[in-house]
């Protein structure tokens, strides 16, 4: 089979790496890919958002299955376009992708189905939002309705921050149209957990759990990023939470989507906050997490390709997914300045030495080849995953690999999965 993976991050490198191991796969294309995917697949310079060009490429090259990595092409309707052209594709339709692309849509669905989530109000008028803030207890969380590269969520500790956030989102267009409407919600206290479910329209199968580290600096300090590291399995998850997750979150969600006439087929990634009263939905994503995928897929024993196909065909309930019992720890190496402004084009050394270490996988994210060298090309540059029979072991190995890699300005968190070791 010929596979096309759309996207250029660490998640897409991990997807291509796993699919490459499938006996059914002869050839993989990545659009646009990175220097890591170039080593295992064929990169083609089509941006992930150029939908017509992607469909043309898939047709002309007889691609059998396209796997969509990022959220933007899903929100723009790539799956509807591919289906209308008779092309097979993994991912939700545009209407199903609204679960991620509109936080207001997701909130309304959760409210209608009584899915546990933070209490929230939505606003399309900034004066109303500002007035509402006068009577709130802080902190509150302010969210742009639409997609904002993971940066559209602000925790406001006080009224002054809330006011300036509302003004910048709604009046100054900080996130463009994505921030014209906002959600203001209760701040949930607890620990986060990332769930990944292959949803085939009616049934679902959970992948192993993971936890992400969203803040840029050690000790969960500094601004939110796309994710600075992850580990799998999550240490705050258990059978009881899984039962509750099925009854109070997944079943009502699938019912709610059905009632709206929406069929979700693809990967659903609910971001959860585990509070004293159980699991609450922080957000729904309609694609694999990044960097969670880089921690989860190295633990997947089963072939990924038939699982993706069964999801598309509505047959996921026929499958049992097998896992490596070991723990995975993933450390993200970022460019100096990320998640703010950063420079690119810095040569990266030590990649081969890191990759030689046992049970280590170096996934590329923001990298490209230039004059025979691999150089930085994005904010999150690499995601280094190590497997170990204990978290300590996986951490030690991951950081050993990280310390072999160098580029100017490189920064990474030293405490990935550390909380999981102590408690």
Residues that bind ligand AMP (CB under 6 A): 118, 141, 143, 153, 185-188, 192, 214, 224, 271, 282-283
* Smallest distance from ligand GLY to CB 7, Å: 12
> Of 246, 253, 260, which is closest to residue 110 (Cα–Cα)?
253
Binds ligand GLY by CB under 6 A, chosen from 70, 179, 266, 289: 289
Task: Tell me the residue number closest to ligand AMP, measured at CB.
Answer: 283
Host H or E run for residue 14: helix 10-20
* Smallest distance from ligand AMP to CB 296, Å: 17
Dist CA 142 CA 121 (whole Å): 10
Q: Which stretch binds ligand GLY (CB under 6 A): 167-175, 185-193, 284-292, 344-352?
A: 284-292
Nearer to ligand GLY, 9 or 33 (CB): 9
Which tokens belong to 200?
């085939």
Residue 256 is a binding residue for ligand GLY (CB under 6 A): no
Local structure of 369: helix, strand or coil: strand
290 binds, among ligand AMP, ligand GLY, none (CB under 5 to 8 A by kind): ligand GLY
Residue 12 is a binding residue for ligand GLY (CB under 6 A): no
Which tokens belong to 167?
């003004």
153 binds, among ligand AMP, ligand GLY, none (CB under 5 to 8 A by kind): ligand AMP
Binds ligand GLY by CB under 6 A, chosen from 209, 236, 285, 367: 285
Nearer to ligand AMP, 273 or 310 (CB): 273
One DSSP character per residue, 139-190 reads: PEEEEESS--TT--EEEESSHHHHHHHHIIIIIS-TTGGGGSSEEEEEPPPS
192 binds, among ligand AMP, ligand GLY, none (CB under 5 to 8 A by kind): ligand AMP
Nearer to ligand AMP, 99 or 141 (CB): 141
From first CA to last CA, the distance across the chain in angstroms is: 45
DSSP state of 137: P
Nearer to ligand GLY, 80 or 292 (CB): 292
Which tokens belong to 109?
């669905």
Of residues 203 through 222, those in contact with ligand GLY by CB under 6 A are: 212
Q: Are 385 and 299 in contact (CB under 8 A)?
A: no
Q: What count of other Cβ atoms lies within 10 Å of the Cβ of residue 42?
A: 15
Handedness of CA 233, 239, 241, 245 (dihedral sign): positive
Nearer to ligand GLY, 200 or 290 (CB): 290
* Smallest distance from ligand AMP to CB 154, Å: 9
* Smallest distance from ligand GLY to CB 406, Å: 25
Of residues 132 through 151, those in contact with ligand GLY by CB under 6 A are: 150
Distant-in-sequence, close-in-space partners of 39: CB < 8 Å, separation ≥ 6: none
Q: What count of other Cβ atoms lies within 10 Å of the Cβ of residue 414?
A: 13
Q: How many chain residues touch ligand GLY (CB under 6 A)?
A: 7
Nearer to ligand AMP, 37 or 225 (CB): 225
Nearer to ligand AMP, 186 or 400 (CB): 186
Residue 290 is a binding residue for ligand GLY (CB under 6 A): yes
Q: What count of other Cβ atoms lies within 10 Å of the Cβ of residue 215?
A: 16
* Smallest distance from ligand GLY to CB 150, Å: 6
359 binds, among ligand AMP, ligand GLY, none (CB under 5 to 8 A by kind): none
* Tokens 């046992």 sit on residue: 358
Binds ligand GLY by CB under 6 A, chosen from 292, 361, 364, 412: 292
> Of 113, 211, 125, which is closest to residue 167 (Cα–Cα)?
125
* Tokens 């995928």 sit on residue: 293
* Smallest distance from ligand AMP to CB 320, Å: 30
Dist CA 195 CA 269 (whole Å): 5
Q: Which stretch binds ligand GLY (CB under 6 A): 35-43, 88-96, 115-123, 288-296?
A: 288-296
Binds ligand GLY by CB under 6 A, chosen from 9, 152, 201, 227: 227
Distant-in-sequence, close-in-space partners of 183: CB < 8 Å, separation ≥ 6: 103, 104, 107, 120, 121, 122, 123, 142, 143, 145
Q: Which residues bind ligand GLY (CB under 6 A)?
A: 150, 212, 227, 285, 289-290, 292
């Amino acid at each position: 089979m010929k596979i096309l993976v759309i996207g250029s991050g660490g998640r897409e490198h991990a997807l291509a790496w796993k699919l490459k191991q499938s006996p059914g796969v002869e050839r993989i294309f990545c659009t646009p890919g990175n220097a890591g995917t170039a080593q295992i697949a064929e990169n083609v310079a089509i941006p992930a958002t150029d939908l017509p060009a992607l469909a043309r490429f898939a047709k002309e090259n007889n691609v059998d299955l396209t796997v969509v990595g990022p959220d933007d092409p899903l929100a723009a309707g790539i799956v509807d376009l591919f289906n209308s052209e008779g092309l097979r594709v993994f991912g939700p339709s545009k209407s199903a992708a609204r679960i991620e692309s509109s936080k207001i849509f997701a909130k309304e669905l959760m409210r209608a189905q009584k899915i546990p989530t933070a209490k929230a109000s939505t606003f399309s008028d900034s004066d109303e939002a500002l007035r509402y803030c006068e009577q709130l207890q802080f902190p509150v969380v302010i969210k742009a309705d639409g997609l904002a590269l993971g940066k559209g969520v602000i925790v406001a500790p006080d009224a002054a921050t809330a006011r300036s956030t509302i003004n910048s989102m709604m009046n100054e267009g900080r996130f463009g149209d994505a921030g014209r409407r906002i959600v203001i919600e209760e701040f949930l206290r607890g620990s986060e957990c990332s769930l990944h479910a292959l949803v085939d329209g009616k049934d679902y199968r959970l992948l192993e759990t993971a936890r992400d580290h969203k803040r840029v600096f050690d000790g969960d300090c500094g601004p939110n990023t796309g994710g600075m590291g992850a580990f799998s399995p999550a240490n705050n998850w258990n059978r009881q939470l899984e039962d509750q997750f099925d009854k109070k979150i997944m079943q009502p969600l699938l019912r709610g989507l059905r009632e709206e006439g929406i069929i979700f087929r693809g990967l659903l990634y609910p971001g959860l906050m585990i509070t004293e009263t159980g699991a609450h939905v922080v957000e729904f994503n309609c694609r694999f997490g990044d960097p969670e995928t880089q921690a989860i897929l190295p633990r997947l024993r089963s072939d990924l390709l038939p699982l993706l196909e069964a999801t598309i065909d509505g047959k996921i309930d026929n499958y049992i997914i097998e896992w490596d019992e070991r723990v995975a720890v993933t450390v993200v190496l970022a460019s100096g300045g990320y998640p703010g402004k950063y420079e690119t084009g810095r040569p990266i050394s030590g990649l081969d030495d890191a990759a030689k270490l046992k049970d280590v996988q170096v996934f590329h994210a923001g990298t490209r080849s230039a004059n025979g060298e691999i150089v930085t090309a994005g904010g999150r540059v690499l995601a280094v995953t190590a497997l170990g029979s204990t978290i300590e072991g996986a951490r030690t190995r991951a950081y050993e690999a990280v310390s072999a890699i160098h580029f100017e300005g490189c920064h990474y968190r030293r405490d990935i999965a550390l909380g999981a070791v102590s408690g």
